[in-house]
Structure 1
Amino acid sequence: MRIVLINPYNPRFETKTFPPIGLMYLSSYLKRSFPDIEVSLIDARLNRTSCSEVARVVAAIKPDVVGITAVVDNREVVHQLAAQVRSLTKWVVVGGPYATSMRQVILQDRNIDYLVLGEGEIPLSKLVRNLQNEAVQEPVDRVMSRNFPAGEVNLLADTVSALDDLPFPDFGLVRVADYFRFSSAMGTHAFRQTWPVASSRGCPYSCAFCHSHFGHKHRTRSVLRFVDEIELLHRSHGVFHFDIFDDIFNISEARVLDFCNELERRKLRIRFSFPNGLRLDRMTARSIDRMAECGLFAFGAPIESASERIRKKMNKGLNMAKAEQIVRHAAMRNVVVSGFFIFGYPTETQGEAQATIDLACKLPFTLASFQKATPFPGTQMFDELPPEKKSELMSFLSTAGPFTYSDSPNVSGMSDHALRKCYARAYLKFYLRPKVVFRLLYLLGPALVLRLGGVVLRRITTLRSSTRFTQCKEAWTR
C-alpha cells in the first residue's frame, strides 16, 4: 500500500512554516506497524506548492491513501486539495485540529472519506489495516466516516499511553536543514537552526476555550528519551534552537530540573523555547534560573486576561501574584517572555479589555500576542453560548472560504467597533513604547526587530478595512 501525507500550503499564511512533525510521527508509526508500506510526504508549505502542483505529484505516486493535515487557518485549501486528488486515490483522509472540532461539517464534503480525530497514530494504523482488507470495514475509535458517524468522541480512546514506545519522527522524509530559513514559532528569527520537539502530550487543566487535541490526560516521555532526540537533531542535523511544543512542560519541577541536568551532563550547548507557554503559577525562580543556565531563550506566558471574573469563566485558575513574580524574574534573567492574551471573551466588557492592555504594558514582557476569542465546537466556551451565537458561529466556521480570527463573530459584551478598537490599541500601545523597542534591540538585534515589526504590522492589518493601520492609530490616540 502507498500512502501520501500532505501538509497544505495556504498563501494567506505563508509566514507560518514549521516542520510537519505530526505527519512525520504518523509515518514512522505506520512504517513500524506495516513494514511493507510506502509513505511519502508532500510539504506544500515548505516549497509554496499550489494545490494543482500537489495533485500532479500525487498522480505520479499513484497512492492508495492520501492523508491531509488540517488546521482551521487552511480550511479552504484542504477542501480544494481534496477535490483535486479525489480521482487520483482510493481514499482521502483528513486529520488535525480542524477535523476534530468541525467533523460534522467536513464530512459534508463528498471528496473526503474519513476523518481521524485527535491523536493520530493508533486510529490511522487501524484504519489502514481495515483499508488493506477492503471487505472488512469495521468502526475504529476516533475515525469518522459517513458510514460510521461519530457521536460523543473520547479523545483518550486508543491513544499512546507510553510515549517512549513511539519511534522518533521519520526524519528520512525531509531534509532538516531545509527548514532553517524559517523563524521560530515564538515569532522571532533569532536562531535559524530551529526545530520543533515535544516531551509530552495532553494537559490536565480544563481551560474553557481549549479543544484539547491530545486530551486532558498528561502523558510524558522519559527525560532520557526526549534528550536522545534533541541530541540526535543537534549532532547529526545541526539543530541549535528547539521549540518545545508541550501543552504543559512544567507540570513537575523535578522533571524540569532533570531535563536541565541531562542537557548539562551531555554537554549540549543549545537554546530552547516554549511557544505554547509555561504554567506560570507552577514555575519557581529556581527552575527559571536553572533553565536559563542551560539554554532557555523564550517562553509564552498565557495570562489571557487581567480580569479575575473572565479568568474564572475561562477556568483559568491562575495565581496572578505568582505569575507576575515569575514574569519579572524571567525578564531579569534576560529570557524573552511573550504575554498571551485573549480579547472578546463572552460577556467581557470594554473596561476589562482595557485592564488587560494595561497589565500587558505593566509587566516586563518582551513580546505580546493578543488573540480574538473564537469558540470552537467541542469547547466549554462554545457550549455556554446562547443559541443565536452558536448558530452565527457555526455559519462562519462552516464557510469553506478564507479564515481569519479577526473576522469571527463577536461574542463579547462589547460592540464590534469597541472590540476592534481594543485589539488595535493593544498592539500599538504595547509595541510603540520606547522601553519595549530598546529591550527588543538588546535581546534580538536591529535586523530581527525590523522583521518582528513586519509581523506586528501584518497582525494589525488582518483586521477589517475599518481598522486598517491609520484608523487603528487614530483610535489609539483618542
Structure 2
Amino acid sequence: MCLVSPISYLREITYKARIMQGGLDVFNAVYMCYNTCMPFKVVLVQITDLERYASTLESYSGFASEKGTPLFGKDEALRFLKRSRGSLVTPYPMGPLALAAFARKRFGSEVELSIIDMLTERLFVEDLVERLKRESPDLVGLSSFSAFSGALHRAAALIKAELGVPVAAGGPYCSASTERAARDPNIDCVAYGEGELSFVEMIDRLMHKKDLKGIPGTAYLEGGRVVVVPHSGFIEDLDDLPFPAVDLLRMEDYFLNLSPLGYLSPWMILFNSRGCPYRCIYCHSIFGKRTRFMSPKRVFDEMMFYYKTYGIREFQVWDDIFNLDVGRAIEVCDLIHSAGSPFRLLFEGGLRADIMRRELVEAMVRAGTCHICYAVESGSPRIQAVIKKYLDLEKAAEAINYTADRGILVNTYNMLGLPTETEEEMYATIEYNVRLRHFSIRLFHAIPQEGTEFYEMVYPKGRDKGETGMYLDHRHEGADSALYRKVLRDGLRRFYLDAERIERISRMQVPTMSPSEVMRAYAMEFRSVFNILGIRRIYELPPGVVGPVMDVFRGGGVAL
C-alpha cells in the first residue's frame, strides 16, 4: 500500500514523467512510482517435511509390534496428514513470529510481513513454492528443525530456480548445523543463535541494495568456503521485545490442536526467559549460557493481551529453566494470582527438579498451574555425570512427589540410549520413575543433535555426519533400537498398569481442572500408551487394572 498522499503522488508522477529520457509514457512513470512506494515484502516460512513426518508416524506405529513391524505404511500416513487439520502436535512457529514482530517494530509500514506454516497448512515443498509465487516476496526466510533440514534445502533450491529472490535460513537447524546449512549455494545468508538483530540487518541491507555479507551472527558461502561472522551480542532487555506477531496467523487453526492433557482449548506458548547456565551434553546453546529474564509485568501483560484479543486462558510455558530464579518465578505467579486472572498454566519446558522449592510450587498452584514437566533424563547417577546434568536424584524425587501431592499433574522427561548407558542403567531410569507418585512419563530415544557435545562424542571427527532427526538408529553404544523398544514397552507397562497409581491419580483434585477433565487427561494418556503397547481390547490388560482403567475412561467420557 502506498503511503504518500494523492497530491504528492501526482506530483511525483509528473516529475518522473518529465525527467524520463527517451519519451517514456506516463504509464511507465506511474509504474515506477508505484514500485517505489511498495513496501519491502518478506515471507517467513516454518519448514516441515510431510514425507519425513509420515515416515515417523509409520515408525511410531511399529512400537505396537514386538518386532517393530509398522501397523500402517508411509502412503497411508501421508493421506492421513493431508486430510487432518488439528489432530497433530503443531506448535506455533515461535521463531518466525518473534522475527516478524521485531522487524515490524523496527521498520513499521516500510516492510510487509507474512508467515507460512507448512505443517499447519499441510504443504509439500512444491506447494510452498507455488504459494510463494503468488506472494511475490523480496526476501524469503526459512526456519527449520534439524529433522526437516532436507526439506529446507529442497525449498531453497526451488525458490532460487523459480523466483530468483534472496533466501535466508535460520532456526534450530541453522543454529546447530551452521556451516552445513551455509554450504548450500541456494541460501544467501544463514542466521544462527538469537536471530532478531541479524534479521533486521538483512532487511535493511536488501532495502538499500546491499549484499548480505558480514552481518554479525550469520554465515555465508564465499569462494567455496563458509564464512561464519561472530555475534555482536545478545538482546539484554527482553522487555523491549514486542509480543509475537500472532496476527499474521490463523489462530483458530492452532486452537484445533489438543492440549497436552487431551482437551480442546484456545492456548498459546509463552517464553519469558532465554538461555540456560547448565551444560548438559545433549542440549543446545542457541540463546547462550547465561539466562536473561523478562520482568514479571512484561510476562503478565503478554498473557493479558492474548486473553483480551483471542480469549486465550491456557498458557504453555516453554522456557529452558523457568525455576532458575525462584524469587522471580514466585513474583510472576503472585502477579497472576493477585490479578484474579482466569488462567491455566502448563510448564512444558522441563523444570529442573533438584532446585525446585516448595514455596514456588505453592505459588504455581495459586496461579493456576495444572501441569508441570520435570526433566530427569536418567535414574543412574553415573549417567547423570556422563551427560553433565548432575541432577541430585533424591532432591528431584522429593520435588516430584511434593508437586504431585499438591494436585499438579506431573510428567517427567527421560532419555534411553545415552552414551555408554547399559541396559541395567536404562532400567534404573524406569525404576526411579516407578517408585514416584507422578502422573505420566516420557521415555525418549536419545538422539544426538549436531552442535552438541553428545553429537561429537558419538561421531568420529571428520565424518560427514549428515542429517539428524527423529527416531534415527544411530547404533552408538547403548542406543540399539530393539533394546530401546524393549525397555520402553517394559517401562510403560510398569508405570501405567499399576492399580495403586491409577486409583491415586483418579482421586486427584487439580485446582484448575474439573474431575472429568482430570479423567479425560488420564484416559488420553492411556490411549497413547495402549497404542505403543499394542493393546486393543480391555481384556488384554492385567486383571487387577481392568476395573480402574474402565472407571478412568468412563469418568473422562472417552470411548475405550
Structure 1 residues 87-102: aligned runs within 5 Å: 87-102=162-177
Deviation at 1:234, TM superposition (A): 1.3
1:134 is paired with a residue whose SS is coil
The aligned counterpart of 1:297 is: 370
* 1:8 equivalent in structure 2: 47
Match of 1:197 in 2: 270
SS of the residue aligned with 2:351? coil
Choose 349-358 or 3-12, whichever is displaced more: 3-12
TM-score (norm 2): 0.75
Q: Which residue of 1 aligns with 2:249?
A: 174
Instruction: Kindly provide the amino acid, as one letter, of the partner of residue 494 in structure 2.
Output: K
How far did 1:341 drift? Answer: 0.7
1:259 to 332, 343, 359: 332
Give the conservation status (yes or no) of the 8 Å contact 1:191–1:240.
no
Specify the alignment match of 2:153 in structure 1.
79
Distance in 1 (alpha carbons) for counterparts of 2:192 and 2:479: 34
Question: Given the superposition, is the C-alpha separation of residues 53 and 450 from structure 1 closer, same or farther in structure 2, using an over 3 Å criterion?
Answer: farther
Report the AA paired with residue 102 of structure 1: S
- 8 Å contact 2:114–2:248 — kept in the other structure? yes
Q: Residue in 1 aligned with 2:322?
A: 249
Q: Distance in 2 between matches of 1:441 and 1:259?
A: 30
1:121 to 2:196 alignment? yes
**Contact 1:123–1:158 at 8 Å: present in 2 too?**
no
Residues 45, 141 of structure 2: 8 Å contact kept: yes
C-alpha distance in structure 2 between counterparts of 1:266 and 1:71, whole Å: 37
Decide whether the 8 Å contact of 2:179 with 2:219 is kept in 1: no
Distance 1:40 1:46 in 2: 15
State the one-letter code of the partner of 2:309.
Answer: S
Please list the CA deviations of residues 213-258 of structure 1 after superposition, one character each: whole Å capped at 9, or x if unmatched. 2111101111001100001111221111100111111111211211
| TM-score, scaled relative to structure 1 | 0.87
Match 2:409 to one of 336, 347, 353: 336
Q: CA deviation at 1:274?
A: 1.2
Look up the SS of the partner of 2:288 in the other structure: coil
- Sort the Cα spacing of 1:180 and 1:440 in 2 relative to 1 into closer, same or farther, 3 A: farther
Over alpha carbons, which structure has the higher Rg?
2
CA distance in 2, matches of 1:146, 1:431: 52
Q: What is the alpha-carbon distance in structure 1 between the residues aligned to residue 171 and residue 203 of structure 2?
A: 17
> Could you tell me which amino acid in structure 2 is paired with residue 426 of structure 1?
G
Q: Distance in 2 between matches of 1:150 and 1:202?
A: 27
In 1, distance between residues paired with 2:487 and 2:229?
Answer: 37
| Aligned residues of 2:421 and 2:478 also touching (Cα < 8 A) | yes
- Work out whether residues 257 and 264 of structure 2, in 8 Å CA contact, stay in contact via their aligned partners in 1: no
Question: What is the CA-CA distance between 1:355 and the residue it aligns to?
Answer: 0.7
CA root-mean-square deviation: 2.7
Deviating more after overlay: 436-445 vs 212-221? 436-445
Indicate the SS of the match to 2:284.
Answer: coil
Q: Distance in 2 between matches of 1:138 and 1:22?
A: 22
| Paired position in structure 2 for 1:433 | 498
1:396 and 1:409 in contact (8 A); partners too? no
C-alpha distance after superposition, 1:389-441 (max 9, x if no partner): x848x1453xxxxx422x23132346554333223322333233334545665
In structure 1, the residue matched to 2:474 is 409
Distance 1:310 1:351 in 2: 11
Does the Cα contact within 8 Å between 2:218 and 2:229 map onto a contact in 1?
no
Task: Map residues 63-462 of structure 1 onto 2, 5 A cutoff.
Answer: 63-86=137-160, 87-147=162-222, 157-184=232-259, 187-190=260-263, 192-385=265-458, 387=460, 391=463, 394-395=465-466, 397=468, 403-405=469-471, 407-413=472-478, 416-438=481-503, 444-456=517-529, 460=532
Q: Deviations over 1:300-342 (max 9, x none)?
A: 1111111111101111122222111111111111211111111
**Match in the other structure for 1:465:** none
Q: Which of 133, 136, 140 is 1:59 aligned to?
A: 133
Deviation at 1:198, TM superposition (A): 0.9
CA displacement at 1:263 relative to structure 2: 0.8
Q: How far apart in 2 are the matches of 1:349 and 1:442?
A: 37
Whole-angstrom distance in 2 between the partners of 1:231 and 1:429: 42
Task: Check 1:135–1:277 CA distance in 2 against 1; reply closer, same or farther (3 A cut).
Answer: closer
Residue identity (%)? 27
Deviations 1:118-161 (A, max 9, x none): 1110111112222233344431122111129667776x643211
**Counterpart among 82, 98, 102 of residue 29 in structure 1:** 102
Higher mean C-alpha deviation, range 126-135 or range 324-333: 126-135
- Within 2, Cα distance between the matches of 1:134 and 1:435? 68
How many residues align structurally? 454
CA distance in 1, matches of 2:48, 2:478: 36
- Residues 245, 274 of structure 1: 8 Å contact kept: yes
Structure 1 residues 200-209 or 358-367, which shifts more? 358-367
Q: Classify the secondary structure of the residue corresponding to 1:234.
A: helix
- Which segment is superposed worse, 418-427 or 274-283? 418-427
Task: Give the counterpart letter for 2:41 in structure 1.
Answer: R
Q: Deviations over 1:194-218 (max 9, x none)?
A: 1101110000111111012211110
